[in-house]
Amino acid sequence: MNAPTDLIRLTQFSHGGGCGCKIAPALLTEILAQAPIRGLPKELMVGIESGDDAAVYRLNDEQALVATTDFFTPIVDDPYDFGRIAATNALSDVYAMGGRPIFALAIVGMPIDKLPVAAIQKVIAGGESVCAKIGIPIAGGHSIDTLEPIYGLVALGLVHPDKVKRNDRARAGDALVLGKPLGVGILSAALKQGKLFPAGYKQMLAATTMLNTPGSRLAEMEAVHAMTDVTGFGLAGHLLGICRGSKLGAEVRFDALPLLPEALEWARQGVATGASDRNWKSYGTEVKLPEPFPDWKRKLITDPQTSGGLLVACAPEAVEAVIAEFRREGFTHAATIGAMRSGEAKLTVY
């Protein structure tokens, strides 16, 4: 007989939680190196060329379709919270392109012989609650029997073709604004180790279930040149994506980074995910750190974020307006963290 729902710990079934279970950047690049790219239609405005957050396909002069998919294994034990986090994370990619979600499809993989039906229902209900919050339906999906719980969405949205926000259009001198605090991966590691306090769980849940809705309005600003969301590759990894695509360097001031308070405490005690080190091995040669720079700080900039914040490159004179858009939606931690610079496509932290 299956265990009661309240005794189930979803994270016990997963080898890595949330966006921390992403394939490491270097390995992913190797895997995709031989992938053929042929016969791309002229209507495909954004594909895989810059590792952007979603594909964008022009429908007409006024509309382009934003299409993405995201799913992962549990980052928390509560089924309903897992569904909420996974859905929020998937929808974030639409907002990161400047789009507005219109509907979603569910991706469900569950170990049917290990989880009670009630727990699976709660996962799906959590995802549906997020979509209901922004007034879109989950219009279908696909489910399979798996060894680990998996949940996510195919998210579809619309954006004006002239207002798509890519990750490879930053300009030298642009300011960098981060919408959410870092540290989700560290808190998830503390949770899996049985160390996380209720206050830390509350911080993690608040961050990971906050929809990146400002992205749709930031798309209206011509002074916003590039945008992405910070997820499994950490702040450094996703910022390096902007650098490579834009053929620019970037500078980040560590003390300016917004951090989840309890994550900072656990980071200082050495708590981190395995994905943090995998990220560093993938792109550490592209990051210049000051001396001395404690390892716990390094792990914060490579910490995999699940449902992380929008990272915006904008003209310096637009910073106040960009942060005001975040504040309007309750993103109290939004902050300017650095700038784009001409030169080699590397990241300097100081």
Angle, vertex CA 169, rays to CA 236 and CA 152, nearest 5: 60
In a domain? residue 33: no
Examine residue 9 and state whether it is found in any structural domain, yes or no: no
User: What pLDDT is recorded for position 21?
Assistant: 67
Q: Is 35 a residue whose pLDDT tops 50? A: yes
Are 61 and 83 in a shared domain? yes
DSSP three-state, residue 245: helix
- pLDDT digit string (tens) for 54-80? 999 999 999 999 999 999 999 999 999
Question: What digits encode the pLDDT tens for the residues 289-309?
Answer: 999 999 999 999 999 999 999
Residues 334 and 239 in one domain: yes
Instruction: Please give the structure tokens belonging to residue 57.
Output: 């396909």
The Cα-based distances of 266 to 49, 196, 269 in angstroms read 37, 9, 5
pLDDT at 16: 63
Q: What is the per-residue pLDDT for 25?
A: 73
Stretch 243-265: mean pLDDT, rounded? 97
Give the model confidence (pLDDT) of 88-118 as tens digits: 999 999 999 999 999 999 999 999 999 999 9
Phi, psi of 115 (to 5 degrees): -110, 135
169 lies in the same domain as 127: no
pLDDT category of residue 4 using cuts at 50, 70 and 90: very low
pLDDT at 1 over 90: no
Tell me, yes or no, whether 323 and 175 share the same domain.
Answer: yes
The SS3 assignment for 206 reads: helix
Q: Which residue has the higher pLDDT, 144 or 10?
A: 144
Phi, psi at residue 64, to the nearest 5°? -130, 145
pTM: 0.93
Residue scoring higher pLDDT (16 or 309)? 309
pLDDT at position 19:
56
Residue 218 belongs to domain spanning: 165-349
- Do residues 154 and 210 share a domain? no
Task: From the candidates 19, 21, 131, 243, give the one annotated as an active-site residue.
Answer: 19
Model confidence pLDDT, tens digit, residues 194-230: 999 999 999 999 999 999 999 999 999 999 999 999 9
Residue 5 forms part of a structural domain: no
User: Is there a domain that residue 71 lies in?
Assistant: yes
162, 191, 208 — which closes off a domain? 162
229 assigned to some structural domain = yes
| Average pLDDT of the chain to the nearest whole number | 93
Looking at residue 259, the DSSP 8-state letter turns out to be B
Same domain, 116 and 216: no
Residues 170 and 317 in one domain: yes
* Token pair recorded at residue 335: 């902050």
Number of domains in the chain: 2
Q: Indicate whether 193 and 238 sit together in one domain.
A: yes
Q: Among this protein's residues, is 131 annotated catalytic?
A: no
